[in-house]
Structure formats: structure tokens, C-alpha cells
Structure 1
């Protein structure tokens, strides 16, 4: 490395120690001089110490047996000395905490990484370390409020995502393109994530606004999954029916807007025919969801969900969606290109995006009218399918509002489409 590069890396090592030292010093800013173990100066020097150890290691790395000796020796000396001072402070003040010791060890390690490794990784590590240290009150408050059900649900969701998902085969199994085990698990994760995010939103924002926000966010991933999840919850006596209905309607609105974005980016030639209808239908559902949210706030006291998600129910719903998608694949193989509209409608039973992307990729081979009709068929099919899911899984009030919102949105979309054609 050139001298300028080494200066930049040493400056980063010092900066990491300085920013962590600012946070450590601020927490004990009321202490008199000599009453704190380490503050801004000490942590800045620890960052420099780690950088110096890295520089020495770098210059000695060509020698036999030199690699790692300097770093490990300096690290052991720092950890031992700092731990002794922290121990004496803990005994004098009668408290137990090793946070500063661990922070010092990490500052040294990140300082060495800034010299010997990836500077971007070292700087990112310093920022994350600072964020964790500065979030002490928030994290402690979160731990006091966290229930066992919430912790268990988070652990299950993380295990599904980072342990089970990477080891499942991605290749489809079975006829007509088959079913991918990874796709099934992804749907399980999506459904569980939507339920968990809804739970968090309700706890933070209340049962009325929280459900709407959760529905809007969940609709970005899958409005069908949000509808099914909220339909199952709507029959519970502990759930505000108007609020969960608003979340499902809001997710449906996002489905309109998401399709509009896909059409505008993937098939600009279709925007004149589809965009007014998509935006009009989405606006109608947003308005309906807002009215339900106001009604839910007035009719229901704030509620708390008892369980972030029911894993058995989530798996069953994921299998249902995969089954619908499999039937759509089978129909596409049987009908071929001649049945594009029918296949798009069948695909819409589970998802609008797949049909939209497929048709957008075929726009050079088919007319704009057929492409717009196929995308419209997928969207209408998806809206009707969600209303049918609501009829089978939701309460009477839930399914009534879902049908009303669906018919209103489709009527507004049709009027906007006709108006755009006349203009």
C-alpha cells in the first residue's frame, strides 16, 4: 500500500475510536475527571492502538511466523488492562457491566481491520457499534415490554428464513413445471412476516391506524396474503373487525398501484390504456380503507393481538396459494399462447405480478389490446379471488366490506378506463 493509503486507513481507525468515545464519554459526562474508566480520549487512543498494531503486523507479515503475533499480543494486553480498570470501577460503584470492555475490544479490532482489511466493512462496523451503544435505553425498554410469545415468534421466523430456507431445494418437483419447496417456504415466511409486522404496527400505532399501516406495507409483498391473514383474524372476538378490514382493503389498493408501476416500467406502451384505471381503482380502495379506519377508531377500543402468528394456519394458507399457482401453471401448459387471457386470469387467483411481468415480456409478440386485456383479467381475477377467500375465511362483516370495496374499485377502474378511451 502507498503512504497516502496507509494515512487514510489510520485516520479511519482513529475516527472509529473517536465516535465510540463520544458516546461513552457522553454517558458519564457528569463524572469528575478521573472518575470514569474511559471516555473520548481513551477510546480514540484504542482505535489508534488497533491501527498501529495493524500497521506493525502489515510491515512484519513477510517475516517467518510473524503473522498474527503482534495483533494477538496487543489485543491481549489491551483487554487485560482495560478489564482490570473496569473491574475496579464496577466494585467502587457497585454495578455490573462489561459493555465498555467489549466496546474497547471491538474498537481495537475494527481499527486493525481498517489497516489490514476492507475499509468499508470497518467503517460500517464502527457505525453499527455506535448505534448499538447509543440504543441502550431503547433496547432495555424493548426487553421489558417483550413477551415470550413475541420472542418465540421472532425466533421461528428467523429460523425459517436463515436456517431452513438456504438448505431447501429450489428445483420444482412434479408435472406442469412442478412446485418448488423453496416457493412454499417463501410463502410461509411472507405470511408469517405480514402477521408479525401487523402485530408490531398495532402495538406501536394502535389497533386502528396500525392495521392500516400493516396492510399497506404487507400489500407491497402480497395483498392476497394480507387478505387471507386478516380474514382469519376478523372472526376473533379480540380483534377490531373494522381495523383488520381496513388493512386488507389497503393491501388491495397497493396491488393496484404496484401493477401500475410494473406496467409503467416494463410496458410503457400500455400505460395510456391501463394507468388511469389502475390509479382510479387504487384511489377508491384507499378512500374506503380510510373510512374504515376512522370507523374502527370510533367503534373499538385499542386491542392487542395475543399471538404474532399461528404457524399451523400460516402453513395451510401457503399450501393453498401454492395449489392455486400450480393449477394456473397446468392451465398455461394446456391452453398455450392461445389461452393467454384465460391463463392470466387463472394466474391472478394467486398473484398479479407474475401475469403482469409475463405479458409485459410478450408485448412485442401480441397486440397492445390483448396485452392490456390479459393484465386486466389477472387483476380482476385477483380482486375477485381475494373477495372469495374473505367469504370463506372471514367474518360476515369482513366479507361484506371486502366485496363492497372490490366492486367499488372495479367500477371506478372501469369508468376511468372508458373515460381514458373516450378522451
Structure 2
């Protein structure tokens, strides 16, 4: 019993020292490396006493600490010159007291994670301030719109199935919208952080995260003039398409993780071909540089509603095709859907595989057909919007990928799966 108490107080002391070290390094006048450990251990002692005398002990401890903070600030106000008034250290002190009290009855792992996160958050003051200074009105609107999409609209949608074939679930449909918009927003803010002059490889990666189709259109158009070399444009377009391939696998991993052992290997085989081609193209690039084109806000409500409608239509189309044409009908839906949006057919197919309405061997083939259809569509866009040089490079690269993808579709063994899944199931 005593050993457990000493361990508890030791963890409390360590968390206080961690946060106190950061505050001392930041030259906080209110509390530093000695005061924060005392505050945290004080919270733990109050939590221990409260086990016998009730929660009012913790409440009084918190009130006492708040009183000390107020008195300390009042005394500092009398100092000359006047100090900058801030609440960071005061709030951290109250939180560390509460965290010390939580340790008595709560999870030590959670307490350590929270304490360490607070220390890191305090340490990143300058970095966070610089980041906020770079956020403009457009970026703030993107954040607020994503909050509306994920925390306002999603919770109020009914979690029930409606419509033909009983497959439309508003909550699940919008959950996929949140997933796709979240991925796009991640790429958008990465673009904002690294800037337009992010380099060829990073430009392609960010373009793939935000929208590989939009990136293809933008770079293909730029080759009509002389702003961007054909090789540079081909590299960025190709990398963006490769990242969209990774994006597809990520979506399967999120929606249908139990299928990865069967679905991931054939998709990874095609991606490996893309990777080899991309590396080869990169080494034969010229040394010209170009700024990445400006990216639009992926969290616009209109964009979210459009994707939600597309996803719902794909769900209905897959249910209809499966009912009337069997599994073979899904390939038609994959080809048509893949021309404009691979995400929708990927998520829809993943859902079918999860509920057992589609065999895994057919599922990954439907997804791969959609990806190959999208690649062919983007090659056509380059042919229409770009110059002959960039189209020649893209046609050759995408042509090799299409051939490789078709070979995987025809010759990949149906019973192949990752050995890791066998160990996990066993």
C-alpha cells in the first residue's frame, strides 16, 4: 500500500517537474520548476484525503490555489514597470492541481499523456503564434466550416437506413464526408505551412492529398504557356496520382480495417510500380522550379454536400447493380464513378466488404478498376489541357500503370493475403 502511494506521488511530482521546467525555461514569474511540482502533489494529496472526507476537500484545495494565484498577481501589479497580464501560467497551475487530484482515482496513463501534452503545448508557444499569424480569413473560414461539417451537422443526422434497398444511412454518409474533407484539409494546411515554393515532390504530395484531379488540371494548363516545363508538370501530376493511390488504401484502412490483409497487397503491387516509375522520372527531370498553384478550400459546405450526394448515389448504384447484375455490375459502377471521384466508390465498396455483401477478392478489384478509370480520365485531361510534350510523358507513364493494373486484376491469386492477418486471427 505504501509503495503504491509513493509511486502515485512520484508520478505527480514528475508531471509537476515537467511542466515547471518548461515554465521556468519560459521565465514565468508566477510559478516555475519548484512551484508546479508542489501544486501537482498538493492536488494528489487533496485527492487522497477526499477518499475519506469527501470531494469538498478537492474543491477547497482548488479555491485555495485560486486565491494564492489572485494574491500573487495583485502583488505583481504593484511592481514597476507593470507586467504583461496573461493567463497561461495561471491556467496551467489550476490544471496541474486537477491532474494531481485525478491521479488518485483515474488512469495513470491518461494523466501522464495529458501532463506531457500540456508541457509540449506550453513549449510550442512561439511556433503556434507564428502559425496563427499565417492564418488568414480564408483559412479561418476553412476551419470553421470543417467544425460545422464534423461537430454540428454530423451529430444531428439520424443513424438509420432509408430509401431503396435500405442502404442510405445519413449519419454514415456524412461520416464519410467528414473523412474526405478532413484529408483534404490536412493537405490544404500543409500547403499553407510549406508555401507555394514547396518543391516538386512535396508539391505533388500536397496536390494528391487535396485533389489529384485539380492538380492535374492546374499543371496541365500551365504547360500551354511556358511557365512550367513538361517534365516538371508530369512529375507533379504523377506524384499526385500516386498519393491518391495511398489515399485510397488509407480510406479502406479506416472504413474496413479487417479487409486489409486481402485488399492491401494487390493495391500495393500497383503502387510499387508507380513508385518505381516516379523515381525514374524524377532522376531524369530538368532543374527548373515552379511554384505550386494556389489551392482552394476543401472544407466548403458546397463541396461537402456535393461529395455527400455523389457518395449516396454511388451507394444506390452499387446496390442496384449488385441486385440486377451481380458482382459484375459493380465494375461498371466503378468505371463510371472512377472518372470523377474514386473516394466515393472506394468507401462504398469498403462498406459492402465490411458487412459481408461483397467478397474481398471482388472488392479490391472493384476499387482497383475505379483507380485505373480515374488514371485514364486524368490522362485524357492532360491530353486536352496540356501541351504535346507533357501529354506524351503522362500517356507513357499512365499507360504502363494501366497495363500493370490490368495484369494484377487478371493474374493476382484469389487466396493471397498477408501472413500477418493469419497470426492476428490465430
Normalised by the size of structure 1, how large is the TM-score? 0.74
Aligned length: 387
Q: 2:261 aligns with which of 253, 260, 266?
A: 266
Corresponding residue of 1:162: 151
How far is the alpha carbon of 1:108 from its aligned partner?
A: 1.0
Which of residues 51, 57, 80 in structure 1 aligns to 2:67? 80
Q: Structure 1 residues 68 and 104 mapped into 2: Cα distance closer, same or farther (>3 Å)?
A: same
| 1:9 corresponding residue in structure 2 | 8
In structure 1, C-alpha distance between the alignment counterparts of 2:188 and 2:128, rounded to whole Å:
18
- Does the 8 A contact of 2:345 with 2:370 survive in 1? no
Name the counterpart of 2:134.
Answer: 145
Counterpart CA distance in 2 for 1:275 and 1:306 is 29
Structure 1: distance between partners of 2:409 and 2:272: 9
Q: Is the 8 A contact 2:201 2:236 kept in 1?
A: no
Hey, what's the Cα distance between the residues in 1 that align with 2:56 and 2:243? Answer: 58
Equivalent of 1:114 in 103, 116, 124: 103
Checking the alignment, whether the CA contact within 8 Å between 2:315 and 2:348 is kept in structure 1 is no
CA distance in structure 1 between the partners assigned to 2:5 and 2:367 by the alignment? 59
* Counterpart position of 1:331: 321
Q: CA deviation at 1:332?
A: 0.3
Residues 275-320 of structure 1, C-alpha deviations (whole Å, 9 max, x = no match): 795355433564488589x67x835235544645443234224422
Instruction: Give the Å deviation of 1:123.
Output: 1.9
Return the offset for 1:28: 1.8
Q: Is the 8 A contact 2:49 2:57 kept in 1?
A: yes
Give distance in 2, aligned partners of 1:251 and 1:38: 47
**Following the alignment from structure 1 to structure 2, what is the Cα–Cα distance between the partners of residues 230 and 51?**
54
1:383, distance to aligned residue in structure 2 (A): 1.8
1:322 aligned partner = 312
Provide the residue aligned with 1:63 in structure 2.
none
Aligned counterpart for 2:290 among listed residues 300, 308, 326: 300
Once the two structures are TM-superposed, the CA of residue 153 in structure 1 deviates from its matched residue by 0.8
Distance 1:388 1:143, change over 3 A: same
Q: 1:260 to 1:154 in 2, by over 3 A?
A: closer
CA distance in 2, matches of 1:300, 1:391: 23
Looking at structure 2, the residues matched to 190 and 276 of structure 1 have their Cα atoms a distance apart, in angstroms, of: 22
Residues 1:395 and 1:203: Cα distance change in structure 2 (over 3 Å): farther
**d(CA) in 1 for partners of 2:110, 2:258:** 38
CA deviation map 1:101-121 (0-9, x unaligned): 111111111111112333222
Q: Call closer, same or farther: CA 1:277–1:147 in 2, change over 3 Å.
A: closer
How far, CA to CA, are the matches of 2:383 and 2:55 in structure 1?
Answer: 63
CA distance in structure 2 between the aligned counterparts of 1:391 and 1:317, rounded to whole angstroms? 22
Partner of 1:351: 345
Per-residue displacement from partner, 1:143-196 (whole Å, max 9, x unpaired)? 222112111211211232123213312323211343222243234323432332
**1:113-262 alignment to 2 at 5 Å?**
113-207=102-196, 208-215=200-207, 218=209, 226-228=211-213, 230=215, 242=233, 245-246=237-238, 248-254=240-246
**SS of the counterpart of 1:351?**
helix
1:407 pairs with 2:407:
no
Aligned partner of 2:44 in structure 1 is 51
Cα–Cα, structure 1 residues 308 and 157, in superposed 2: closer, same or farther, change >3 Å?
Answer: same
1:204–1:210 CA contact under 8 A, matched in 2: no
Unaligned stretches of 5+ residues in structure 2:
338-343, 414-426
**Partners in 2 of 1:26 and 1:204 — Cα distance?**
27
Distance 1:77 1:202, change over 3 A: same
> How does the TM-score come out when normalised to structure 2?
0.74
SS at match of 1:176: helix
CA separation of 1:299 and 1:395: change in aligned 2, threshold 3 A: farther
Q: Is the 8 A contact 1:276 1:413 kept in 2?
A: no
Displacement of 1:87 in angstroms is 3.7
- Matched with 1:341 is 328
Q: What are the ranges of 5 or more consecutive residues in structure 1 without an aligned counterpart?
A: 30-35, 61-66, 219-224
8 A contact 1:231–1:395 mirrored in 2: no
Two-structure CA RMSD over aligned residues (Å): 4.3
Instruction: Quote how far apart the aligned CAs of 1:40 are.
Output: 1.0
